[in-house]
Amino acid sequence: MDAGARAALVFLVLYTILFVFLLFGYATRRLPVRSRYSIIAGHVALRLAAQAVGLAFGLVIDYNSNKAIGLLVAYFALGTEGYFTLVLCAYRFLASWQSHNFECHDSWLEPRHPPNTPLSQRFRDSFVVFGPNRRPMAIMHHLLIIANVLIIVGGVLLADTKNAINYFKFLSAAKITRTVGQVVYLTCNVLLLFCILHSMRQYRRENPERKIHLTLYLLFVAWPLLFVRGTYGIISCVYNPFNYFYFGNYGIHGPKDEFVISEYLLATTMEWTSCCLLMLTYVASRNDPPKLPPKSWGTEEKELSAVVQ
């Protein structure tokens, strides 16, 4: 078992622990199925799949075989999806906190829908950037999806490493698409910091005698980890010693130790720790007030909300 397989196994166990905690929360009904924790459960499930594939890749004997290449692409794609869902989780957790704790009982990041709004309309509105139903969170949805597609396309372009002609033919295009995608991800992370700091200022303005909410501190602490992960994503596109698709990072017995250490320290560890901090917001927000009808709703909508609750 090479270094890559050992590292994959370690984080497979660590993510399994988080998944068990989430399953326990659902089983005991401490975590509602329709809540922000379902998004983080999706992230953990993706990371479990990625680590399982990473373990299988580490156990492959012939790294030039089609099987090995397929496993590498699958690991890359699942890892990208995992990072995508983690950044989305951070935004969703912040929006939910705003609805519980702001005086307006709503989130300026993603305003709440009136009761009985069809699910299809809620989904459409989540992508509306212009017009009366526009939502700042819709911008993040578009940016994250664009980045996600660009990174996966860039990885797929480099998948056919057995054909050197095709590899060097698509190398520049793959680097550009992956780099642009990672830059978009990092931009979303920078905007997340602005949203967290703005929420802190608003909470302090509305509650001058209280300390900053612990959930906001947890999100603030998680942000540098996400930023490091995003920065590493950009560097891995342009700096070969950090690139999974660079031949020089592989020896006779699989990925070189220094490459595995950089990948798992700057990427996987950052994601796992951020995930833990997001899950800890459950403890920090246990005593939060319930979601009351937003002040922007009319009388009829507030009465309907009371009936639904």
pLDDT digits (tens, 9 = 90+) for 269-297: 999 999 999 999 999 988 888 877 776 65
SS3 state at 133: coil
CB 119 within 8 A of CB 160: no
Q: Supply the angle between the helices 269-284 and 66-101 in degrees, to the nearest 10.
A: 30
> Does the structure show a pLDDT above 50 at 303?
no
The closest of 263, 249, 306 to 8, measured between CA atoms, is: 263
CA distance 274 to 47: 13
Distance, CA of 91 to CA of 199 (rounded, Å): 12
Mean pLDDT of 207-230: 94
CA–CA gap between residue 181 and residue 188 (Å, rounded): 11
List the alpha helices (DSSP H) in 28-135: 36-59, 66-101, 119-125
pLDDT digits (tens, 9 = 90+) for 45-68: 999 999 999 888 877 655 556 677
Per the DSSP assignment, residues forming a β-bridge with 255 are 250
Q: Is pLDDT larger for residue 119 or for residue 163?
A: 119
What 3-state DSSP class applies to 13? helix
Per-residue pLDDT at 203: 93
Give the per-residue pLDDT at 14: 96
- Are the C-beta atoms of residues 222 and 276 closer than 8 Å to each other? no
The helix/strand count (H/E) of the chain reads as 10, 2
In this prediction, residues 194-210 reach a mean pLDDT of: 93
Q: What is the pLDDT of residues 148-190, one digit of tens each?
A: 888 888 777 766 555 555 556 677 777 888 889 889 999 999 9
Decide: 19 and 41 in contact? Cβ < 8 Å: yes
Once rounded to an integer, what is the mean pLDDT over residues 192-221?
93
Predicted TM-score (pTM) of the model is 0.87
φ, ψ dihedrals at 255, nearest 5°: -60, 140
End-to-end CA distance of the chain: 54
Across the chain, what does the average pLDDT equal? Answer: 84
Of 122-131, 234-243, 279-288, minimum mean pLDDT range: 122-131
Phi and psi at 16, nearest 5°, equal -65, -40
Spatial separation of the C-alpha atoms in residues 246 and 236, rounded to whole Å: 10
Element (H, E) at 251: strand 250-251
Query: Does position 3 have pLDDT exceeding 90, yes or no?
Result: no
Q: Is the pLDDT of residue 24 over 50?
A: yes
User: pLDDT band for position 20 (50/70/90)?
Assistant: very high
More reliable by pLDDT, 19 or 307: 19
Q: Which two tokens stand for residue 100?
A: 């519980």
Predicted confidence at residue 93, as pLDDT, reads 94
Percent of the chain surpassing pLDDT 90: 38
pLDDT for the residue 268: 93
Mean pLDDT, range 232-243, rounded to an integer = 86
Mean pLDDT over 116-132 rounds to 79
The pLDDT value recorded for residue 23 is: 94
Q: What is the mean pLDDT of residues 119-132?
A: 80
- Hey, CA dihedral for 86, 87, 89, 94, is it positive or negative? positive
What residues contact residue 98 under an 8 Å CB cut-off, 6+ apart?
A: 106, 107, 108, 109, 199
Task: Tell me the C-alpha distance between 42 and 81, whole Å.
Answer: 10
3-class DSSP assignment, residue 129: coil
Residue 65 has a pLDDT of 60
Q: How far apart are CA 111 and CA 222, in angstroms?
A: 24
Closest by CA to 306, choosing from 287, 289, 288, 293, is 293
